[in-house]
């Protein structure tokens, strides 16, 4: 219920922001649509459906499940959020450092941490496995297929 | 004391000069990165890869081609200028979009200050085509039709404020005619729209070539300085009385502050590559011409070109409505 | 027919057989590896083909393209990461089949459906290509408006979850698709002065983030020391029952895909979504869709392969590439000194028919290559998820960085990953978002083109037969959805979980 309501409120806000930004692009006339017209229209649809959802939820007080009976989601637990948040933080750090440090080193580091901390592989195995996979990926993609990957400090 | 200082200065200057010269002599002693601000596979990408191969053999160092698309060909160039050292080991394709974009959008670079211009590479062949069964048989017919039906003659290009759109507006202004522009999202859509009869004419690069040869399209006019060898009967703009040509030349640039000796060395090698039979054959296939212009001449040309783009935008561009 | 014989004599030369095999093999490989797609692979191999005879080079590049269509379904089914927009639909039921322990039959049906559809499209191509391509050109912008509207309406029917939710995500997709410089007015939309966004949001970044990253995040809700699929994978060969249920969808998907594939723009994407919608409407048990219905896999897989092959027709007969991949092929042809277009069949019969014939052979090779190797891909699933998911993350990074060379795009990918996870978590289907993203800009461009041409007269939209028919059909679907009886029925079976 709470999550459902929050999501509808977010949709409503997103819709309004889109409409506001799109009006700034020039809406034009109906016979000569401007750059913002479609976005105003669909932003408006998002805002209205969000608003409708809020009203619907507040009046009918339907539980979440009736909206989505297929797969009852288990509620977020602290452990779950730690796992997901941890990977996201690692990914953001990885992306930020990729061009400076280079693909092979950074990928080996990322995978070592993930193998060690998440998969519960002993560090003695996790680090060589991660390094091997990073080098193998580099060899396959950059050297064999010619994909561009940053070399970083090793280059 | 003063004399001593002067001598010291001279020595220091001479030393700096030798270091610079020896830098240029040693150059290149490692791989050079060539940035292409487009997705892999296009015409400029293909051409630059062929040139890179030839130059790499000549200079004895590998050239790594990096595709950094985005920002309509400006992103790769501007981030190269902002991040790379001006040591000659990072250079980039640079095209007219880079000179034009700052007058259309807020950009993070200044084309007059932020680059070292190395030299010219190539230019496009543009032209106007109509469908063969169109009542418009010649460029004179085109102008006559536009004069008789102001705002009714429709034409397509691959986007508002593209070089082709601005050039068509310039031509219209010269002739005092008014055309209706229906922009598409790419070259192939242009041909499809004309072939399907949804627009009357297309101003485009030579992607229309096969359809002209097959007799589906009629080529009315080309925009270069002289006639093409492939369609020698088709006049240029100048021949039909319009004092204008547009080939959207492109070249090479590096970050601001490169050593002139290294710039000379890079372009000398590219100049050789431009004249290489392998490159000439490629140009012929795309009906294009080289744009050979040394560092000094190219830099001067670019400064003028930036002003010209500014004027084109000021006069003819569709300006984003003020926020 | 004599043309085809000429073609076979070209395609059966040992060198061309070798190139064809290399092409389909590489294609399968890049299709299987998430992120790196046919565009990158073809562009990188382009220089290599310059030295080869023209027909051999083109055979190789074409093989990569249709080979990747086979391979693309594999990652969609096994790890729910579509390699490109057209295989998003494959995830819906294909991945559910894998979750139900039927990964083997899912992969086999996908491969066989692709084979039948691909072969059908090649045969159709060698019979009717030129007139068909001409007919497709006659579709005016107004007709496209109808087609796009129909596609967008259809998506609210095929998605799991409520119709309102589908409209929300589709609308968001459309708005995201409109980002970048407006080609009609030069206005920058939703770019926030970032040059990276001037050309709009990259479709690879969006798809990899929304599906690849968010899938990883969702799987991390559970302990990672388990395996994706337990050891009982089941047999690889589909059962007799699977066959019976797949026959119709494969046939319908092949035809639909072939026709829609001729259209420029979102042809293959539209085809796979349309086929899914068609099968769901056609089915007597639509409640199984989204939960691992074999029809929902067989139809779209066939449709996108037929569409991929049909897309060659406008390129080879008119010189008009309907998508980016074929645009690269056009470049390759020109470098070889061959101008694709109406004269190709006359001037270079060896090239035209050689490529067509190689596609017959290539499809056969792909079947042989894929079916026995299916078992190999299944081995992937036996790897514990804790080992698998770091690899998936790295593949996502390689795919996005490899095509854009930009860490900004990687950041965007991460953001879309979070968005996708939150949407799935709260009961929204992501498929409408992708279709909205692909079709939204096309709808807008064609609508505005129509209005420019008709001087702002909206009624012009109703004067084109194809466009009108599509609009009427879309209207009928909306009315059907609005009818209470049908609505009630929908609610009992409609919403399903999302994968």
* Residue extents of the structural domains in chain C: 2-493
Q: Write down the pLDDT at residue C184.
A: 78
Distance separating alpha carbons of residues C40 and C399, to the nearest angstrom = 9
Question: Which of A6, A22, A67 should one mutate to test binding to chain C, selecting the residue with the greatest count of C CBs within 10 A?
Answer: A67
C chain contacts of residue A65, beta-carbon cutoff 8 Å = none
Distance separating alpha carbons of residues C77 and C120, to the nearest angstrom = 24
User: Which residues lie below 8 Å from residue C375, measured CB to CB, with a gap of 6+?
Assistant: C104, C236
Average pLDDT, chain C: 82
pLDDT at B5 over 90: no
C chain contacts of residue B196, beta-carbon cutoff 8 Å = 137-140
Q: State whether A61 and A11 are in the same domain.
A: yes
A45–C171 C-beta distance less than 8 A: yes
Task: Tell me what the mean pLDDT of segment B87-99 comes to.
Answer: 93
Closest CA to C184 of B181, B130, B79: B181
Q: State whether B116 and B256 are in the same domain.
A: yes
| Range of the structural domain that residue B61 is part of | 23-123+249-316
A chain contacts of residue C414, beta-carbon cutoff 8 Å = 88, 91-92, 95
Q: State whether A8 and A63 are in the same domain.
A: yes
Q: What is the CATH number of the domain that holds B255?
A: 3.40.190.150
Distance separating alpha carbons of residues B128 and B168, to the nearest angstrom = 9
Task: Tell me what the mean pLDDT of segment A5-30 comes to.
Answer: 91
pLDDT at A46 over 90: yes
Q: State whether A13 and A54 are in the same domain.
A: yes
Q: Among A26, A35, A148, select the one facing B67 at the smallest CB separation.
A: A148
Q: Among A35, A99, A150, select the one facing C187 at the smallest CB separation.
A: A35
Q: State whether B144 and B233 are in the same domain.
A: yes
| Range of the structural domain that residue A118 is part of | 78-147
Residue B193 or residue C381, greater confidence:
B193
B chain contacts of residue A26, beta-carbon cutoff 8 Å = 320-321
What's the domain count of chain B? 2
E strand intervals along A13-143: 28-29, 32-33
Task: Tell me what the mean pLDDT of segment C98-125 comes to.
Answer: 88
User: Is C300 in contact with C89 (CB distance < 8 Å)?
Assistant: yes
Q: State whether B280 and B228 are in the same domain.
A: no
Q: Write down the pLDDT at residue B254.
A: 95
Q: State whether A59 and A96 are in the same domain.
A: no
Helix axes C385-404, C407-425, angle to 10 degrees: 130
C340 in contact with B, Cβ within 8 Å: yes
Q: Among C42, C138, C183, select the one facing B41 at the smallest CB separation.
A: C42
Q: Write down the pLDDT at residue C158.
A: 66
Provide the pLDDT confidence category of residue C267 given band limits of 50, 70 and 90.
confident
Average pLDDT, chain B: 87
H or E element: which one contains C50?
helix C38-50
In a domain, B12, yes or no: no
Distance separating alpha carbons of residues C176 and C193, to the nearest angstrom = 16
C195 in contact with B, Cβ within 8 Å: yes
Q: Write down the pLDDT at residue A114.
A: 92
Q: Write down the pLDDT at residue A32.
A: 81
Domain boundary among A67, A86, A106: A67
Structure tokens at C433: 């978002």
State the smallest CA–CA distance between residue A15 and chain C in angstroms.
9
Phi and psi at residue C473, to the nearest 5°: -60, -40
User: Is B205 in contact with B226 (CB distance < 8 Å)?
Assistant: no
In a domain, B162, yes or no: yes
Q: State whether A99 and A52 are in the same domain.
A: no
In a domain, A154, yes or no: no
Range name among A37-46, B62-71, B213-222, C54-63 with the lowest pLDDT average: B62-71
In a domain, A18, yes or no: yes
H or E element: which one contains B28?
none
Q: Write down the pLDDT at residue B6.
A: 61
Q: State whether A83 and A57 are in the same domain.
A: no
In a domain, B17, yes or no: no
Q: Write down the pLDDT at residue C230.
A: 47
A chain contacts of residue B321, beta-carbon cutoff 8 Å = 25-26, 34
Q: State whether A85 and A61 are in the same domain.
A: no
In a domain, B39, yes or no: yes
In a domain, B7, yes or no: no
Distance separating alpha carbons of residues C94 and C97, to the nearest angstrom = 5
What's the domain count of chain A? 2
Provide the pLDDT confidence category of residue A66 given band limits of 50, 70 and 90.
very low
Q: State whether B130 and B119 are in the same domain.
A: no
A110–C160 C-beta distance less than 8 A: no
C220 in contact with B, Cβ within 8 Å: no
Q: Write down the pLDDT at residue C344.
A: 80
Q: What is the CATH number of the domain that holds B208?
A: 3.40.190.10
Chain B residues with CB within 8 Å of chain A CB = 66-67, 320-321, 323
pLDDT at C328 over 80: no
Q: Write down the pLDDT at residue B76.
A: 87
Strands B154-156, B180-181: pairing kind: parallel
State the smallest CA–CA distance between residue B178 and chain A in angstroms.
18
Q: State whether B221 and B76 are in the same domain.
A: no
State the smallest CA–CA distance between residue C172 and chain B in angstroms.
22
Q: State whether A47 and A105 are in the same domain.
A: no
C341 in contact with B, Cβ within 8 Å: yes
In a domain, A62, yes or no: yes
Residue B232 or residue C87, greater confidence:
B232
Domain boundary among B221, B240, B259: B240
Task: Tell me what the mean pLDDT of segment C47-55 comes to.
Answer: 76
Task: Tell me what the mean pLDDT of segment C283-308 comes to.
Answer: 88
Q: State whether B34 and B140 are in the same domain.
A: no
Q: C164-214: per-residue pLDDT in tens?
A: 888 999 999 999 999 988 877 778 889 888 878 887 888 778 888 888 888
Q: State whether A50 and A10 are in the same domain.
A: yes
Q: State whether A13 and A48 are in the same domain.
A: yes
Q: State whether B223 and B132 are in the same domain.
A: yes
Task: Tell me what the mean pLDDT of segment C106-110 comes to.
Answer: 88
E strand intervals along B54-98: 63-67, 90-94
Task: Tell me what the mean pLDDT of segment A105-126 comes to.
Answer: 91
Q: Write down the pLDDT at residue C381.
A: 66
State the smallest CA–CA distance between residue C324 and chain B in angstroms.
10
SS3 of residue B123 by DSSP: strand
C321 to chain B: closest CA residue: B188
Q: Write down the pLDDT at residue B175.
A: 92
Closest CA to B247 of B217, B206, B190: B206
Which C residues, 412 through 441, put their C-beta within 8 Å of a C-beta on chain A?
A: 414, 417-418, 421-422, 425-427, 440
Q: Which residues of B80-112 are buried (b: 16+ CB within 10 A; e: fewer)?
A: bbeebebbbbbbbbbbbbbbbbbbbbebbbebe
Q: C390-405: per-residue pLDDT in tens?
A: 988 888 888 888 777 8
Q: State whether B192 and B281 are in the same domain.
A: no
Across the A:C interface, residue pairs with CB atoms under 8 Å apart total: 181
In a domain, A72, yes or no: no
In a domain, A73, yes or no: no
Across the B:C interface, residue pairs with CB atoms under 8 Å apart total: 154
Q: Write down the pLDDT at residue B321.
A: 46
B180–C452 C-beta distance less than 8 A: yes
User: With the C-alpha atoms ordered A15, A16, A17, A22, is the resulting torsion angle positive or negative?
Assistant: positive
pLDDT at B268 over 50: yes
Q: State whether A126 and A83 are in the same domain.
A: yes
Q: State whether A141 and A87 are in the same domain.
A: yes
């Amino acid at each position: 219920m709470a999550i459902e309501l929050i999501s509808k409120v977010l949709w409503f806000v997103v819709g309004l922001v889109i409409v506001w930004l799109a009006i700034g692009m020039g809406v034009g006339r109906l016979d000569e649509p401007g750059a913002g017209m479609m976005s105003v229209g669909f932003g408006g649809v998002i805002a209205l459906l969000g608003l409708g959802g809020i009203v619907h939820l507040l009046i009918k007080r339907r539980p979440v499940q009736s909206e989505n009976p297929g797969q009852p989601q288990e509620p977020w637990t602290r452990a779950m959020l730690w796992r997901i948040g941890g990977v996201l933080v690692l990914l953001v750090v990885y992306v930020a450092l990729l061009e400076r440090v280079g693909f092979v080193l950074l990928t080996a580091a990322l995978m070592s941490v993930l193998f060690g901390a998440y998969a519960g592989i002993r560090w003695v195995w996790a680090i060589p496995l991660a390094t091997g996979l990073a080098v193998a990926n580099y060899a396959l993609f950059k050297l064999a297929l010619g994909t561009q990957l940053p070399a970083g400090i090793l280059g | 004391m003063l004399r001593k200082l002067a001598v010291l200065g001279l020595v220091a200057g001479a030393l700096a000069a030798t270091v610079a010269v020896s830098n240029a002599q040693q150059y290149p002693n490692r791989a050079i990165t060539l940035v292409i601000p487009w997705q892999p596979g296009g015409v400029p990408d293909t051409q630059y890869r062929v040139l890179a191969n030839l130059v790499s053999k000549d200079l004895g160092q590998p050239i790594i081609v990096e595709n950094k698309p985005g920002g309509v060909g400006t992103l790769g160039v501007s981030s190269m200028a902002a991040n790379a050292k001006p040591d000659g080991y990072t250079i980039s394709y640079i095209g007219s979009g880079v000179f034009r974009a700052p007058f259309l959008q807020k950009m993070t670079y200044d084309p007059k200050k932020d680059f070292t211009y190395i030299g010219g590479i190539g230019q496009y062949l543009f032209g106007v085509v109509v469908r063969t069964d169109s009542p418009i048989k010649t460029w004179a017919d085109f102008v006559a039709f536009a004069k008789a039906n102001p705002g009714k003659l429709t034409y397509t290009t691959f986007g508002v404020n593209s070089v082709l759109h601005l050039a068509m507006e310039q031509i219209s202004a010269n002739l005092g005619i008014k055309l209706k522009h229906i922009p598409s999202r790419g070259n192939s859509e242009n041909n499809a729209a004309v072939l399907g009869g949804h627009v009357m004419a297309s101003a485009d690069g030579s992607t229309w070539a096969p359809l002209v040869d097959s007799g589906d399209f009629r080529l009315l006019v080309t925009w270069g300085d002289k006639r093409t060898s492939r369609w020698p009967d088709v006049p240029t703009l100048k021949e039909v009385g319009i004092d204008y040509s547009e080939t959207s030349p492109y070249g090479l640039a590096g970050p601001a502050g490169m050593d002139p000796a290294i710039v000379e060395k890079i372009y000398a090698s590219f100049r050789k590559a431009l004249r290489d039979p392998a490159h000439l054959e490629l140009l012929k296939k795309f009906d294009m011409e080289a744009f050979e212009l040394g560092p000094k001449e190219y830099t001067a040309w670019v400064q003028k070109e930036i002003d010209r783009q500014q004027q084109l935008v000021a006069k003819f561009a569709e300006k984003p409505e003020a926020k | 027919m004599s043309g085809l014989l000429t073609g076979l004599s070209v395609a059966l030369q040992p060198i061309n057989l070798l190139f064809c095999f290399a092409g389909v093999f590489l294609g399968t490989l890049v299709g299987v590896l998430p992120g790196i797609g046919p565009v990158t692979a073809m562009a990188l191999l382009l220089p290599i083909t310059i030295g080869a005879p023209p027909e051999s080079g083109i055979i190789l590049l074409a093989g990569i393209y249709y080979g990747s269509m086979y391979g693309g379904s594999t990652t969609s089914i096994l790890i729910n990461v579509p390699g490109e927009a057209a295989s998003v639909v494959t995830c819906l039921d294909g991945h559910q089949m894998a979750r139900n322990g039927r990964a083997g039959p899912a992969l086999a049906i996908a491969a066989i459906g692709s084979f039948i559809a691909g072969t059908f499209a090649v045969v159709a191509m060698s019979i009717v290509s030129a007139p068909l391509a001409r007919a497709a050109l006659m579709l005016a912008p107004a007709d496209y408006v109808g087609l796009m509207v129909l596609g967008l309406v259809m998506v609210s029917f095929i998605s799991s979850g409520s119709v309102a939710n589908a409209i929300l995500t589709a609308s968001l997709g459309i708005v995201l698709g409109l980002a970048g410089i407006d080609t009609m007015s030069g206005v920058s939309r939703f770019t926030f002065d970032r040059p990276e966004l001037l050309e709009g949001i990259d479709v690879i970044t969006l798809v990899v983030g929304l599906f690849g990253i968010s899938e990883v995040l969702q799987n991390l809700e559970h302990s990672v020391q388990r395996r994706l699929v337990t050891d009982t994978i089941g047999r690889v060969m589909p059962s007799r029952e699977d066959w019976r249920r797949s026959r119709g969808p494969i046939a319908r998907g092949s035809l639909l895909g072939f026709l829609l594939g001729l259209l420029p723009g979102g042809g293959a994407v539209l085809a796979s979504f349309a086929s899914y919608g068609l099968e769901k409407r056609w089915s007597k048990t639509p409640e199984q869709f989204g939960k691992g219905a074999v029809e929902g896999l067989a139809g779209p897989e066939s449709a996108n392969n037929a569409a991929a092959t049909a897309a060659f027709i406008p390129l080879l007969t008119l010189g008009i590439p309907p998508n980016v991949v074929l645009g690269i092929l056009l470049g390759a042809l020109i470098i070889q000194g061959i101008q694709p277009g109406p004269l190709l069949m006359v001037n270079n019969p060896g090239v035209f028919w050689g490529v067509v014939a190689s596609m017959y052979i290539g499809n056969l090779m792909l079947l042989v290559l894929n079916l026995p190797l299916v078992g190999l891909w299944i081995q992937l699933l036996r790897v514990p998820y804790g080992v698998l998911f770091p690899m998936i993350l790295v593949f996502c990074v390689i795919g996005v960085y490899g095509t854009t060379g930009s860490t900004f795009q990687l950041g965007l990918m991460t953001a879309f990953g979070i968005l996708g996870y939150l949407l799935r978590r709260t009961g929204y289907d992501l498929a409408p978002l992708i279709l909205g993203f692909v079709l939204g800009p096309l709808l807008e461009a064609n609508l505005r083109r129509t209005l420019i041409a008709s001087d702002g007269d909206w009624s012009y939209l109703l004067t084109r037969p194809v466009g009108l028919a599509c609009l009427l059909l879309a209207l009928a679907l909306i009315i059907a959805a609005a009818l209470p009886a049908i609505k009630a029925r929908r609610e009992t079976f409609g919403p399903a979980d999302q994968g």
